[in-house]
Amino acid sequence: MAKTATATKTIRQRLVYRLGISEWFASTQDLFNRIVSFYFDVIQAHLGVLEMSNQRALTALERLTHATKRYPNPPVPLSEVATHIPAMFRRAAINTALGSARSFHSNLASWRREKQKAETKGRRFSKRPPVPPRNWNRSVSFYAGMWKQRSNGRITLKLWDGQTWRWVRFRLSGRELPTLWEAGSPQVMRRGKSWWLHTPVEKQIPRPNKVETQIKRNPDVRLCAVDLNINDALAVCTILEADGTVVATRFIRGGRELHGRRKSLLGRVARNRGKTGVIAKDEQDNGDLWAKIRHLDENTAPRVSRRIVEFAQQHGATVIVFEHLGRFRPKRGQYSRRANEKRAYWLRGRIFHYARYKAWEEGIVTCRVSPWGTSRECANCGSPVARYDEGNPATEYQPGAPLVKCLNPKCGRRGNADRNASRNIGQRLLARHLEFVYPIHQEKPLARPPGRSSKEEGVSLPQDAENGIGLQSDWNSLPEPERHGERDGHGTARIEVDGAASTRSGLKSSASIPRPLRPQQSGGHAAITLSDAYPGVPEEAAAL
Ligand SMILES: [Zn+2]
């Protein structure tokens, strides 16, 4: 019996309404926050409720605040703050306050632990304690009873117009709720000038096996190794088998165009700023420019991540592996250039974030490996590589250059730098769980894990349809001069050198990477668990 896991996502739809209604959203939200703030204070005065389950805490808080026939005189009546509050509105506010109080007190507790630890060691402790929220600006959750008649892109919501409660019918623009997913309570959020309905949905999916189990137990496992870049190839994906055989590679491009458009918008922001005196119109201009810039990035991340996951699916990969993303190290220079790079780095994180969610929905597990040296090592033998521009000698490591050449004379392979990096990322994951042998040391034909027998014939050079490139079981098998262009998927595509390697330029030289790669149970980066950053999607399925 397969175990199941839950996949969740949020469907965002814009509420379509006539002018004037937006004030009702605002007054509903104000009222909601008044009640949340009230309950937060009640909890602060009755900290015992934080020891209870949410359900019991809710009951306790209602008893303290809400008059019923049985308890007509609650000690801290809500009615002194607001009257005629629908029960489900009140409960949504209580749960919001509970969530905030739990998070505040857990932060406070860890601050106290830190303080105590410092004091017992006799160290000075100057970190400030967390403070409870002063201003409340939480979005309203509409529990059942606060909304009705949801279908065909419409919903009816109960809103507070400042005087009274009203049922208002809305049209929703944007994609419909997906079928087969179960919808939770929608929230009404303000985004810029308009109001949106965000609905969390979830569905049960068969739980995929842990990465380790898949790699150790399934000789037919396939990985999709992804190198995220800030150059034209935003993502370079390589499908690897358990023995390191490369099945296919895809370059997901568009970075150059994106960077160009973003840079010109940023340049306009900079010029507006540079003008003497602050003119209100410029402020507005900049607001619009920033909105355009955000729009560019926010459209790109889901698109690229979808293509990564689709590519993995096409080739039957059940694990997607990324490297931990380096920090942005700004270089001196023009404002627009720095700001552009910063956003490009940020975009990589977004792509990873979306890819994890999308992959998880499809039963694909994601994980990450240490980025040390993934660009600086030859994927074929593990030796340091030279990185260079076409037409230049392949002698030094020039960060961001599009091509690599292995400096080991016994190997000497050449190829695309990003493809080499993505392959290293995949191999690093294999090395973590299996005894990995670099292709150069493998006996021909490639040794396959036991249990793999008859499927060889199935591996007959599948065509990578979208790129029009054939199987690249060997990234260097093409004659050298054509290699670059052909391999990129678009014959004429040139890789813009855009400081891509600055992430890695500060990293340890490849010489310090142990070879052959040893299992890396806890690399320097393993401490950053993604589960903290993105609650809801475990780094691996098994964490559920
Ligand atoms: Zn080599």
Q: What is the dihedral angle through the alpha carbons of 505, 511, 517, 520, rounded to the nearest 10 degrees? A: -60
Of 185, 204, 223, the residue at which a domain comes to its end is 204
Asked whether residue 196 is assigned to any structural domain, the reply reads: yes
What is the whole-number distance in angstroms between the Cα of residue 448 and the centre of ligand 1?
21
Q: What is the distance between the alpha carbons of residues 416 and 414, in angstroms, rounded to a whole number?
A: 7
What is the whole-number distance in angstroms between the Cα of residue 483 and the centre of ligand 1?
17
Same domain membership, residue 313 and residue 186: no
Q: What is the distance between the alpha carbons of residues 355 and 235, in angstroms, rounded to a whole number?
A: 11
Same domain membership, residue 304 and residue 156: no
- Looking at residue 332, what is its pLDDT? 75
Ion ligand 1 nearby residues (CB, 5 A): 378, 380-381, 383, 406, 408, 411
- Phi/psi of residue 2, nearest 5 degrees: -70, 140
Pairing type for strands 147-151 and 154-160 reads: antiparallel
Asked whether residue 267 is assigned to any structural domain, the reply reads: no
Instruction: Supply the CATH number for residue 235's domain.
Output: 3.30.420.140
Of 172, 204, 236, the residue at which a domain comes to its end is 204
What is the whole-number distance in angstroms between the Cα of residue 409 and the centre of ligand 1?
8
Same domain membership, residue 517 and residue 375: yes
- Please list, in sequence order, all residues whose beta carbon lies within 8 angstroms of the beta carbon of residue 172, skipping any fewer than 6 positions away: 13, 14, 15, 16, 153, 154, 155, 197
Other C-beta atoms lying within 10 Å of the C-beta of residue 520: 18
Q: Which of 39, 60, 43, 62 is nearest to 108 (CA)?
A: 43
- Domain limits for position 72: 4-204
Q: DSSP per residue over 42-53, as a string? A: HHHH-GGGGGS-
Q: Which of 255, 246, 162 is nearest to 423 (CA)?
A: 246
Count Cβ neighbours within 10 Å for each residue of 303-339 and write b for 16 or more, e otherwise. Answer: ebbebbbebbbbbebbbbbbbbbbebeeeeeeebbeb
What is the whole-number distance in angstroms between the Cα of residue 323 and the centre of ligand 1?
21
Same domain membership, residue 186 and residue 224: no
Same domain membership, residue 195 and residue 133: yes
- Looking at residue 435, what is its pLDDT? 85
Asked whether residue 437 is assigned to any structural domain, the reply reads: yes
Q: DSSP per residue over 90-115, as a string? A: HHHHHHHHHHHHHHHHHHHHHHHHHH
What is the whole-number distance in angstroms between the Cα of residue 332 and the centre of ligand 1?
34
- What's the number of CA atoms in the CB half-sphere (13 Å) around residue 396? 5
Tokens of 470: 């054939």
Same domain membership, residue 219 and residue 80: no
What is the whole-number distance in angstroms between the Cα of residue 384 and the centre of ligand 1?
8
What is the whole-number distance in angstroms between the Cα of residue 517 and the centre of ligand 1?
14
Count Cβ neighbours within 10 Å for each residue of 421-453 and write b for 16 or more, e otherwise. Answer: bbbbbbbbbbbbbbebbbbbeeeeeeebeeeee
What is the whole-number distance in angstroms between the Cα of residue 485 and the centre of ligand 1?
21
Same domain membership, residue 176 and residue 155: yes
What is the whole-number distance in angstroms between the Cα of residue 450 and the centre of ligand 1?
27
Q: What is the distance between the alpha carbons of residues 85 and 91, in angstroms, rounded to a whole number?
A: 10
What is the whole-number distance in angstroms between the Cα of residue 391 and the centre of ligand 1?
20
Asked whether residue 454 is assigned to any structural domain, the reply reads: yes
Tokens of 17: 């309404």
What is the whole-number distance in angstroms between the Cα of residue 375 and the centre of ligand 1?
12
- Looking at residue 503, what is its pLDDT? 33
What is the whole-number distance in angstroms between the Cα of residue 243 and the centre of ligand 1?
17
Q: What is the distance between the alpha carbons of residues 154 and 166, in angstroms, rounded to a whole number?
A: 16
Name residue, tokens 């096409």. Answer: 314
What is the whole-number distance in angstroms between the Cα of residue 477 and the centre of ligand 1?
13
Other C-beta atoms lying within 10 Å of the C-beta of residue 194: 14
Q: What sign results for the dihedral spanned by CA atoms 198, 203, 208, 210?
A: positive
Q: What is the distance between the alpha carbons of residues 307 and 238, in angstroms, rounded to a whole number?
A: 13
Q: Are 236 and 419 in contact (CB under 8 A)?
A: yes
What is the whole-number distance in angstroms between the Cα of residue 374 and the centre of ligand 1?
13
- Looking at residue 540, what is its pLDDT? 40
Asked whether residue 287 is assigned to any structural domain, the reply reads: no
Other C-beta atoms lying within 10 Å of the C-beta of residue 231: 22
Per-residue pLDDT of the chain (544 residues; tens, 9 = 90+): 467 888 888 899 999 998 888 899 999 999 999 999 999 999 999 999 999 999 999 999 999 999 999 888 999 999 988 989 999 999 999 999 999 999 999 999 999 999 999 999 988 888 899 999 989 999 999 999 999 998 889 999 999 999 999 999 999 998 889 888 999 999 999 988 899 999 999 988 888 899 999 999 999 999 999 999 888 999 999 999 998 899 999 999 999 999 999 989 988 888 877 764 555 555 667 788 888 888 888 889 999 999 999 999 999 999 999 999 877 777 777 788 888 888 988 899 999 999 999 999 889 999 999 998 899 999 999 999 999 999 989 889 998 899 999 999 999 999 999 999 999 999 999 999 988 888 887 765 444 444 444 433 333 333 333 333 333 333 333 333 333 333 333 333 333 223 333 333 333 333 343 334 433 333 333 333 333 333 344 444 322 2
Same domain membership, residue 44 and residue 21: yes
Total number of domains constituting the chain:
2
Of 171, 204, 237, the residue at which a domain comes to its end is 204
Same domain membership, residue 164 and residue 36: yes
Same domain membership, residue 67 and residue 13: yes
What is the whole-number distance in angstroms between the Cα of residue 414 and the centre of ligand 1?
8
Same domain membership, residue 56 and residue 122: yes
Asked whether residue 484 is assigned to any structural domain, the reply reads: yes
Asked whether residue 265 is assigned to any structural domain, the reply reads: no
What is the whole-number distance in angstroms between the Cα of residue 101 and the centre of ligand 1?
56
Same domain membership, residue 123 and residue 84: yes
- Phi/psi of residue 432, nearest 5 degrees: -70, -30
Asked whether residue 406 is assigned to any structural domain, the reply reads: no
